[in-house]
Amino acid sequence: MGTELTKGSELSELISDVREKVLYMQELGVASLGVELTARSALATGVEARSPRVAIAAESVAPRDAERSTPLPPANAGGFDKKPGSRLASLPSLSSRKTMPFFDKYNPGDDGRGARADETTVLRSVKIAPTLPEPTETIEQIRADIGPDCTRCKLSECGRKQVVNSVGNFNADLMFVGEAPGADEDIQGEPFVGRAGQLLTDIIEKGLQIPRKDVFIGNINRCRPPGNRTPEPDEAAVCKPFLLREIAVVRPKVIVVLGAHAAQGLLETKVPISKLRGHFHDYLGTKVMPTFHPAYLLRDPHKKREVWEDMKMVLSYLKTA
């Protein structure tokens, strides 16, 4: 007799728990549970034999009228001294529920009187900063993918001698990105090795006091454009993803982009280099400092002072990052 009484109170508690949850979901606007908890399925658990109300409670996601007509398990049934539904009743209704702390934090416009924030608006206001994709390959694998005789863009048909891949430390904190190889680079197969390259080496080693081998140096396009012309948009669009994959592998703290076309290509902007330089930009969470191309400095040495200002900012950031 005592065992029957205990099972009866457990069953009563189970029924009221299920009913509370269903009613709560209904209040949240759930129209369907996506599962069928019918009298038959309840029977399979052996519950139906004792109380058909289980099936009724599960179906109460239907209109509230049906729910109201559902008889509640009697209070104190089987010695169960908690009134069924009391936990739900103790909760504030949705209309009067206080704004949650999370929403308070991201909803400064809340008047603090408990008005519930519109969750869609709130979530829209929470910005998740994009970051570099996790590397799933190595620099060697990227180079193997490019191949020594890449023909993906028309620069392969314009008299290039070889594909000029990036060089340097694969774990570098500092990366330099140019536009495309020139004649010297095309011959030697390494970026920034001509006169402009020597000036870049001086900036790195004499200015920043970092050995050239400790930085990573690459170009947006890996094949020399004829007559050192600027790579055309379709040529840059095809080759740039290789550089972006390398950035995801190296994960530098700062990327220095050299010249207007490299800076505009990486940052996807048309803002002139004179306005881009002098402050940091962002590429997927990585600091980007545009500055003048060394070849431009050879033509106008007065611009070296501005490049040095940019490099001092880079150096300062590297020391604190």
Q: How far is the CB of 228 from ligand SF4 (least distance, A)?
A: 14
Nearer to ligand SF4, 116 or 152 (CB): 152
Nearer to ligand SF4, 172 or 180 (CB): 180
Q: How far is the CB of 277 from ligand SF4 (least distance, A)?
A: 26
Which stretches of the chain bind ligand SF4, using CB under 6 A? 146, 150-153, 155-156, 163, 221-223, 235, 238-239
Question: Which of 203, 206, 183 shows the shortest CA–CA distance to 193?
Answer: 183
Nearer to ligand SF4, 18 or 164 (CB): 164
Q: How far is the CB of 162 from ligand SF4 (least distance, A)?
A: 9
Map tokens 């006169």 to a residue.
195
* Rounded-to-integer distance, Cα 226 and Cα 74, Å: 89
* Rounded-to-integer distance, Cα 308 and Cα 172, Å: 20
Q: How far is the CB of 169 from ligand SF4 (least distance, A)?
A: 22
Nearer to ligand SF4, 125 or 141 (CB): 141
Nearest 5°: the CA angle 170, 156, 147 is: 40
Q: How far is the CB of 312 from ligand SF4 (least distance, A)?
A: 33
In Å, how far from its chain's centre is CA 211?
Answer: 33
Nearer to ligand SF4, 73 or 182 (CB): 182
Nearer to ligand SF4, 222 or 293 (CB): 222
Both structure tokens of 258? 């050299």
Both structure tokens of 185? 């680079």
Query: Residues near 105 by Cβ (< 8 Å), separated by ≥ 6?
Result: none
Q: How far is the CB of 154 from ligand SF4 (least distance, A)?
A: 7
* Rounded-to-integer distance, Cα 319 and Cα 126, Å: 31
What is residue 82's DSSP assignment?
S
Backbone angles phi, psi at 203, to 5 degrees: -60, -40
